[in-house]
Each structure stands twice: as C-alpha cells, then as structure tokens.
Structure 1
Amino acid sequence: MPDPAPSAPTQPVFVLVRPQMGENIGAAARAMLNFSLSRMRLVDPRDGWPNPKAVAMASGAAEKVLNFAGVFDDVAGAVADCDFVFATTARGRELAKPIYTPEAAMLEARQRILAGQKVAILFGPERTGLENDDITRANAIITVPVNPEFFSLNLAQAVLLSAYEYSRHTLDATPRDPGLAAHIPATAQDVEKLGDHFETRLDEAGFFTPPEKAPMMKRNLRNMWTRFAMTRSEVQMLHGALRQIFRARD
C-alpha cells in the first residue's frame, strides 16, 4: 500500500528495508517527526504490519507517521516512483557509485526535491544492513564517517542523522538547474524495467556465462543503470535500440 503523497514532493521518503524490531520502527518514526518528516515506507518488516510495539515506541504524535506508512514486498516496489535513491551503508564500496556524507547527501536531496524530483533514502535491517542487491537499486551511497573500529549505527540513529541533516538545509537551500531542462528524469521503475529488458535479451543471447557468474554479472548491470541517472526519453531510446537489434537479428 503506497503512502499518500502530494504530486509535488516536499520531503524525501525514508524506506526501512526488512526492519526486524517494531521498537526500532517506532523510534525511527519519532526521529523523523522530530524534524517534521513523515513519509515512511516499509519493505517486508520481519514481524508483519501493523506492529503494536512500533506504535508503543512512537509515543503519541509520531504514530501518525506509522499510520500513513506504505508497506511493500520488495525494494523495487518501494522506490518505483522515485527519481533518485540513496542507500545508507558502511559497505558497498565495491559497487561503483557516488559516495556522500549525510550532510552532502541531504543537501543534494533538498535541491532535487526543489527541482520537482522524488527522492528516497534506504535504511537496511538492524543486524546486517543493506544487501548488495538492495544497493544496486540506488543511485548513490551515504556513508557516515564514524569510528572505523565501531561503525555500526542503530536504525533509529541512522534515520535521526539523515532527518537532522535534511531539516537543517530546509531554509537555506536554493533551487538549482540540473541541466536537464524540458527532460523528465527516469523513475526507479523505468530503470528497473530497462534492466529487466536487457537481462531477458542477454539471457536469450547466452551472454551470462559461465552460469555461476551470472548473478554477479546481472548485479553489475543493474548497478550501472542506476548510476547513469538517465532521463525517461533516454530509457525509451535504449528500449527501442534493443528491440531493433533483436528484430534485425531475428
């Protein structure tokens, strides 16, 4: 169930991926509302939804964040309508993506939202963090410069840090020209479908060999598409080019 949202976004979507404890979801909701943020989405919460422990921890006013939270089966569905996605992780550096500090990331998010884009931020499960397959669906990575000997952050702490950094840029950020005037950015769903199209065609052509390397090859392709930050017209052009190549071959 998608969360209700205005047609022109005014804040980022905080996406909690496979959260394990209701208490942490409630604490994350409180952290968001501390900084006037309310757009939460949940991906496959371990203990189901709704969760009474989350409501108890939300403590009153923050319960409204939970009441309107969208619940999704997977990350792809949760970010399908978003134009730009950040993934918070202490790992993932083997994936070629831009890496931001929380401050720089939230300033970038603010500028994109002022330009009319929808921005999402992924937060991983408490014990393991985001998996590489989750991170490939993001355009960029947020890494907190913490003590390398103790780099683990609680879910609610990570949410609080990002919410604070976004909030403090709310008043002084100015719109920017992204250099794509008259062009609509491709949504995450547009990019996901392009990846599906390429995987299907390359599979038919026998590209993914040897079989044991196929998952890594497919992950690298997905990561490449999200890194490009394409427009919708560019995605459509690549679909058309792929169809033409295989039409000529057939």
Structure 2
Amino acid sequence: MQSDHRPVIILVRPQMGENIGAAARAMLNFGLTEMRLVAPRDGWPNPKAVAMASGAAGRVLDHVRVYPTLAEAMEGVEFAFATTARGRELSKPVHSPQSAMEVARSHQGRVAIIFGPERAGLENDDVARANAIVTVPVNPDFPSLNLAQAVLLMGYEWGRVEMPPEPAPHGRRPVGEMLADRVEIERLGDHYEEKLTEAGFFFPESKAANMRLNLRNMWSRLVLTRGDVRILHGMLRQLTRR
C-alpha cells in the first residue's frame, strides 16, 4: 500500500523522552513512520528520545510534528482510534487491536491511532475526538501497558498483513535438496535403536519400551533431507566402529 495509507501515531501529552523514542522504534519495526506529538511535557526536540530511538528509528523522530492540542493534531485525519481501557461510557464502537487494524486497512482516508500519557492514559475529552476505541485484552489483574508496548501491539497488527511475508521458517526444505521419505527415516531410527540397544542405553527394562517410543517420535518430528540421513548414519557407524 502507499505510505500515506499507513496509520498516523499520535502521542498525547507524552511525559518521558525515552518513551517517545521507544515508541518510534516500535513504529518502524512495522513500517509506520509518521508520529505526531501533542504538548509533550518536556518539550521538543528531546535528546533522550533520540538516544532511545537508536539508529534507523531516529528518522521517525526527524519528521515528528508537534501540536498544542489533539484537535489540531488531527489535521488530515479522517478516522481515529483512541487506545484506552476507559471511556466506554462514551457511545463508540470498541475494537481489539486486530479488528481495529482491519478497519484501518479497509478505510480509504487517513487513519490515526491515539495514545495517552504514560501515567493516566487518555482523558474522556481526548477519547471524545476519536471515532472508535481500541482496548487490548490483557490480564485483568495487571492491565497496565507502557506506551511503547501499546504502540508495538498496534504496529504489529498493522504490519503482520502489510509487511513483506516472513522468512521461511527453520526446518523447511533447503533449496535443491530432497527431503528424506518416511521409509528412510524409519531405517535411520532402526539403526540408532539397534546400536543404542547394544550399548545398553535402554535401561532399566521397565522403561525401555517408553524410551524407544520417545526416540521414534523424535525422529518423526525432524525435517531431514536425504543428505542429513546419510550423515547421521555415517556418524553412528563411526562412533560404534570397534
């Protein structure tokens, strides 16, 4: 998607420069680059924010725009989410991070995600300026999220669809190599079971059957190429050579 379709991150009255920098890092992890600040407590620019942003994420801070009020920070925004665990007395749709970002992706205009100050979060006057609320389902015995964590959660829900596909997971077939079939894996398991039996590994006898079962189950979980199987046979032959 075009960069101007990515959500704008608005931090309302942030209190610590370190949290602003950490939020910038969380944004860039998932391809979000536009941050707006409303009345930051310690002013702007803030060297502590730059230090925390660390490297590439500093470019997010290079283009930060600062506004005196949230109303002014909504410039160009057509739809806004307020992240809060409160404000439900205001009649607004309430979303999880996942459903909120589904709405954001379907929206044709500019979308903003609004985060409140670290100590108390958004006030109802702030929430009233949003179209909808986002509430993170967390442990009710400890519902506190810091600012950067909240930004990271929203960024992840945006980025997991918008960002490039993830790398191939470990265990996927190496390029150009054939995977061993189940018969080859069975023969490898037989070879190891034979040699381990000769070495007295399956002891005591009362546990031997379960040990064999667990070993066989281990082989079945491994993703092995035919080359891997040959190496494992060869290793065992060398180790057991008299």
User: Normalising TM by the smaller chain, what interval?
Assistant: 0.5 to 0.7
Which letter maps to 1:150?
Answer: F
Report what 1:48 is aligned to: 43
Indicate yes or no: 2:51 matched with 1:65. Answer: no
Report what 1:77 is aligned to: 72
Report what 2:228 is aligned to: none
Give the alignment of 1:57-136 within 5 angstroms. 57-112=52-107, 115=108, 117-136=109-128
Report what 2:235 is aligned to: none
CA distance in 2, matches of 1:32, 1:82: 18
Show structure 2 runs of 5+ residues with no match: 165-242
Q: Which runs of structure 1 show a deviation greater than 2 angstroms over 4 or more consecutive aligned residues?
A: none
CA contact (8 A) 1:107 1:169 kept: no
**What SS does the corresponding residue of 1:165 show, helix, strand or coil?**
helix
Is the alpha carbon distance of 1:21 and 1:83 closer, same or farther for their aligned partners in structure 2, counting shifts above 3 Å? same
Which letter maps to 2:7?
Answer: P
- Pick aligned residue for 1:34 from 14, 29, 34: 29
Show structure 1 runs of 5+ residues with no match: 1-5, 173-250
Which letter maps to 1:167?
Answer: G
- Pick aligned residue for 1:15 from 10, 17, 21: 10
Report what 1:166 is aligned to: 158
Which letter maps to 2:95?
Answer: Y
CA distance in 1, matches of 2:22, 2:120: 19
Instruction: Give how far 1:156 is off.
Output: 0.1
**What SS does the corresponding residue of 2:71 show, helix, strand or coil?**
helix
**What SS does the corresponding residue of 1:91 show, helix, strand or coil?**
coil
CA distance in 2, matches of 1:86, 1:30: 21
Report what 2:137 is aligned to: 145
CA distance in 2, matches of 1:106, 1:41: 19
C-alpha deviations, 1:115-168, integer Å up to 9, x for none? 2x0100100000000000000000000000111121111000000000000011
Identity of paired residues, percent? Answer: 66
Instruction: Give how far 1:53 is off.
Output: 0.1
Over the residues paired in the alignment, what is the CA RMSD in angstroms? 1.4
C-alpha deviations, 1:208-236, integer Å up to 9, x for none? xxxxxxxxxxxxxxxxxxxxxxxxxxxxx
CA distance in 2, matches of 1:90, 1:141: 9
**What SS does the corresponding residue of 1:50 show, helix, strand or coil?**
coil
Give the alignment of 1:210-221 within 5 angstroms. none
CA distance in 1, matches of 2:37, 2:6: 17
CA distance in 1, matches of 2:17, 2:147: 11
CA distance in 2, matches of 1:168, 1:78: 27
Instruction: Give how far 1:9 is off.
Output: 2.1
CA contact (8 A) 1:29 1:62 kept: yes
Instruction: Provide the TM-score with structure 1 as the length reference.
Output: 0.63
CA distance in 1, matches of 2:44, 2:112: 21
CA distance in 2, matches of 1:45, 1:155: 13
- Number of residues paired by the alignment? 163
Report what 1:233 is aligned to: none
Which letter maps to 1:76?
Answer: A
The structure showing larger relative contact order (alpha-carbon pairs under 8 Å, at least 6 residues apart) is: 1
Query: Of the two, which has the highest radius of gyration?
Result: 2
